[in-house]
């Protein structure tokens, strides 16, 4: 059948068909001849200078090639060749990966008198490096080497930077499989999962799904062996290859937040046990913290305080419930509150509130960090009542002693005058209450000496007042310059104090021991 078909074709068509077949065969042979293959990797002659690398390892080299750079007979690597050729050929690739990317590279010497160049080519996984005579297109090849060398250096820098990052970075495709990751991600997988990173390493979600949402979130991982939780702030960036994921370690932040929360809870429990009412307002002057004592002291509802009222609303409510003194001028109430807050901010606010109910509160304002201010409300009714009662008792006993005819003065162990009655003031013409300075036994002794006849008992009294041992009651007679005779009685009392009384000579002294006989002017 084919023979008959050819016979039926015209002669011209047979000629065209034969010519086409010849041209196709010729083109195919030229294409195969020009294509590099593993069969023509080796040198063509013994004089060729050729190095053959499989990856970074030197697998073969001609004798002349080893002599050119003085390579040892043992194992050699690409770095050895780069070290030997880079001084003469600065553009020689630093790694074999550069040759793999470009396919073919030419490195020329900077010295134009050097007729040779280095030719590198990638042939089916094998890198062939040869030294040959300079070709016409060497300039373009040299520029290409420079560009590829710069790109390789930049790639190496970026790879080092990503792998040196302290937080995991990885990329997943649409199916959720990991297609790229850095060293920190691999370390995290080994820590959490107990095995190296793989394409189905599901850290933040099940395999086959994009592990996190498209916004920044805080996620945790649990170490399978210890049960400890690791916290990360995870964010994503969409790229052409898939989804690029970043996980930033925030364990320190989470631990600080937990510690702060526990500290606040501890403070809240402590404040709950205080009898002093506490109200803290933030920088916006809203109530952010209060304790139960504040409710008990102010009678303000808990729901009102929980609603975070402003500081003006808080004091307005106190004024309405008559839990603070009535303002003298309601028109300037707001101005008074502004001054109150300003004083509290500076730590200068300290007042005592006497309430219509009879209670007395001590209110103070203190500044807090970040512009906050705190008010402390303390019920001091019992203390004020006790103080008032004590003061009333003192006034009563003072009135009682003022009715006594004997002049009485009491000195402390340190020699200070702590009490005297009206008869003492009249006898010696003194008023200790009118002086800001404390009256001592020395001051009193001078007054006594100036208004009486000479007597050694004044020195004895001074010594007795500051004496701590051998203290017994005694008395002596003294004569005033006016001629009146007095009986001076010295009595030790509690806490090392001494009471000295002066009475007319006609009165019988209380003390049974006479210290000195009566002295008259001689």
What does the domain layout of the chain look like in residue ranges?
2-34, 38-127, 165-253, 274-383, 404-516
Average pLDDT over residues 65-76: 76
Question: Poorest-confidence range of 157-166, 247-256, 341-350, 503-512?
Answer: 503-512
Strands (E), 124-181: 126-133, 169-172, 178-181
Give the Cα separation of 312 and 168 in Å (integer).
Answer: 51
- Residue range 468-487: mean pLDDT, rounded: 89
Q: Compute the distance between CA of residue 510 and CA of residue 499 in angstroms, rounded to an integer.
A: 12
Average pLDDT over residues 221-235: 86
pLDDT level of residue 513 (50, 70, 90 thresholds):
low
The residue that leads in pLDDT, 18 or 121, is 121
Section 173-202 average pLDDT: 83
- List CB contacts of 271: < 8 A, sequence separation 6 or more: 278, 289, 291
Above 50 in pLDDT, residue 2?
no
pTM of the predicted model as reported, rounded to 2 decimal places:
0.43
The confidence score (pLDDT) of residue 197 equals 81
- Is the pLDDT at 150 greater than 80, yes or no? no
For residue 46, pLDDT over 80 is answered with: no
What is the pLDDT of the chain when averaged over all its residues?
A: 80
How many other CB atoms are there within 10 angstroms of residue 376's CB atom?
19
For 334-343, the CB contacts below 8 A with 24+ separation are 337/311, 337/312, 340/315, 340/365, 341/285, 341/311, 341/365, 341/373
Residue 45 confidence (pLDDT) above 80: no
What's the rounded mean pLDDT across residues 240-261? Answer: 87
pLDDT in tens, 430-462: 988 777 778 899 999 999 999 999 888 999 999
Q: Give the integer Cα–Cα distance in Å for 467 and 474.
A: 14
| pLDDT value for 499 | 94
Residue 347: pLDDT band (50, 70, 90) is confident
The total number of residues written for the chain in this structure: 522
Sign of CA dihedral 305, 309, 315, 319: negative
Give the pLDDT confidence score for residue 86 in this predicted structure: 86
Q: In this structure, are residues 340 and 355 in contact, taking their beta carbons and an 8 Å threshold? A: no
CA 410 to chain centre: 60
- Residue 157 in this model has a pLDDT that exceeds 70: yes
CB 276 within 8 A of CB 376: yes
Cα 315 versus chain centre, distance = 35
Measure the CA–CA gap between 147 and 466, rounded to whole angstroms. Answer: 102
| Spatial distance between the Cα atoms of 445 and 454, rounded to a whole number of angstroms | 12
Counting beta carbons within 10 angstroms of the beta carbon of residue 91, is it exposed (0 to 12), middle (13 to 18) or buried (19 or more)? Answer: buried
Nearest C-alpha neighbor of 277 from the set 314, 240, 303: 314
**CB contact at 8 A, 243 and 171:** yes
Laid out side by side, the sheet with 178-181 consists of 178-181, 169-172, 242-249, 229-239, 217-222
**Residue 508 DSSP symbol:** P
DSSP structure string for 428-460 = HT--GGG-SSPPBHHHHHHHHHHTB---THHHH
Lowest pLDDT segment from 32-41, 275-284, 307-316 = 32-41
- Mean pLDDT over 346-366 rounds to 86
Please indicate whether the domains covering 165-253 and 274-383 agree at the CATH topology level.
yes
Architecture field, domain 165-253: 2-Layer Sandwich (3.30)
**Closest alpha carbon to 129 in 107, 151, 110:** 107
Report domain 404-516's class.
alpha beta
Q: Which of residues 303 and 348 earns the better pLDDT score? A: 303
Q: For residue 259, is it left (φ>0), alpha (ψ between -120 and 50) or beta?
A: alpha
3-state secondary structure of 374: strand
pLDDT computed for residue 214 by the predictor: 56
CA distance 201 to 231: 18
Report the pLDDT value the prediction gives residue 140, as an integer from 0 to 100.
53
Residue 465 Cα distances to 71, 260, 378, 512, angstroms: 110, 60, 42, 19
**CATH homologous superfamily of domain 274-383?**
PAS domain (3.30.450.20)
* More confident call, 413 vs 30: 413
| pLDDT at 82 > cutoff 80 | yes
In the prediction, which pLDDT does 1 show? 43
Cα distance between residue 503 and residue 509, in whole Å: 8
Query: What confidence score (pLDDT) does residue 14 get?
Result: 46
Residue 420's pLDDT band (cuts 50, 70, 90): very high
- Distance CA(427)–CA(420), nearest Å, equals 11
Rounded Cα distance, 303 and 292, in Å: 12
Nearest to 104 by CA among 91, 119, 121, 117: 121
> 489 and 509 in contact (C-beta within 8 Å)?
yes
CB 208 within 8 A of CB 174: no
Where b means 16+ CB within 10 Å and e means fewer, 15-29 reads eeeeeeeeeeeeeee
Answer yes or no: are the C-beta atoms of 309 and 318 closer than 8 Å.
Answer: no
Q: What percent of the chain is modeled with pLDDT above 90?
A: 19
More confident residue, 204 or 441: 441
Higher pLDDT among residues 326 and 192, named by residue: 192
pLDDT at 32: 43
């Amino acid at each position: 059948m084919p023979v008959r078909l050819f016979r039926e074709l015209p002669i011209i068509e047979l000629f065209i068909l034969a010519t086409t077949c010849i041209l196709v065969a010729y083109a195919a042979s030229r294409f195969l001849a020009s294509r590099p293959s593993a069969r023509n990797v080796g040198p063509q002659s013994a004089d060729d200078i050729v190095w053959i690398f499989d990856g970074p390892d030197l697998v073969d080299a001609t004798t002349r090639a080893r002599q050119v750079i003085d390579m040892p007979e043992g194992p050699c690597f690409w770095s050895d060749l780069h070290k030997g050729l880079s001084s003469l050929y600065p553009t020689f690739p630093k790694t074999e990966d550069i040759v793999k990317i470009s396919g073919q590279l030419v490195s020329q010497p900077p010295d134009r008198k050097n007729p040779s160049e280095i030719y590198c080519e990638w042939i089916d996984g094998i890198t062939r490096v040869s030294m040959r005579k300079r070709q016409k297109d060497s300039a373009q090849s040299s520029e290409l080497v420079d560009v590829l060398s710069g790109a390789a250096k930049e790639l190496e820098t970026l790879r080092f930077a990503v792998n040196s990052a302290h937080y995991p970075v990885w990329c997943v495709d649409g199916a959720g499989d990991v297609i790229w990751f850095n060293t920190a991600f691999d370390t995290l997988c080994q820590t959490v999962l107990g095995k190296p990173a793989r394409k189905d390493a599901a850290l933040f979600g099940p395999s086959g799904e994009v592990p996190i949402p498209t916004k920044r979130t805080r996620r945790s991982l649990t170490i399978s062996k210890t049960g400890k939780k690791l916290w990360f702030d995870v964010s994503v960036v969409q790229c052409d290859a898939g989804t690029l994921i970043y996980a930033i370690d925030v364990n320190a932040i989470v631990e600080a937040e937990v510690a702060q929360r526990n500290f606040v809870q501890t403070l809240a429990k402590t404040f709950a046990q205080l009898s002093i009412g506490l109200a803290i307002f933030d920088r916006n002057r809203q109530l952010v913290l209060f304790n139960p004592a504040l409710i008990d002291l102010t009678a303000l509802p808990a729901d009102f305080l929980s609603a975070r009222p402003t500081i003006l609303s808080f004091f307005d409510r106190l004024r309405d419930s008559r839990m603070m003194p009535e303002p003298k001028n309601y028109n300037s109430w707001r101005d008074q509150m502004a001054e109150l807050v300003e004083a509290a901010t500076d730590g200068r606010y300290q007042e005592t509130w006497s309430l219509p109910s009879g209670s007395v509160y001590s209110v103070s304002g203190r500044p807090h960090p970040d512009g906050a201010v705190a008010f402390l409300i303390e019920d001091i009714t019992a203390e004020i009542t006790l103080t008032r009662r004590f003061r009333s008792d003192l006034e009563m006993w003072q009135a009682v002693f003022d009715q006594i005819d004997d002049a009485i003065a009491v000195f402390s162990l340190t020699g200070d005058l702590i009490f005297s009655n009206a008869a003492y003031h009249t006898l010696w013409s003194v008023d200790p209450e009118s002086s800001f300075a404390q009256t001592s036994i020395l001051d009193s002794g001078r007054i006594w000496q100036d208004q009486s006849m000479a007597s050694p008992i004044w020195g004895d009294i001074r010594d007795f007042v500051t004496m701590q041992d051998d203290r017994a009651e005694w008395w002596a007679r003294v004569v005033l310059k006016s001629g009146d005779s007095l009986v001076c009685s010295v009595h030790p009392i509690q806490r090392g104090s001494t009471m000295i009384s002066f009475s007319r000579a006609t009165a019988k002294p209380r003390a049974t021991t006479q210290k000195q006989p009566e002295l008259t002017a001689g």
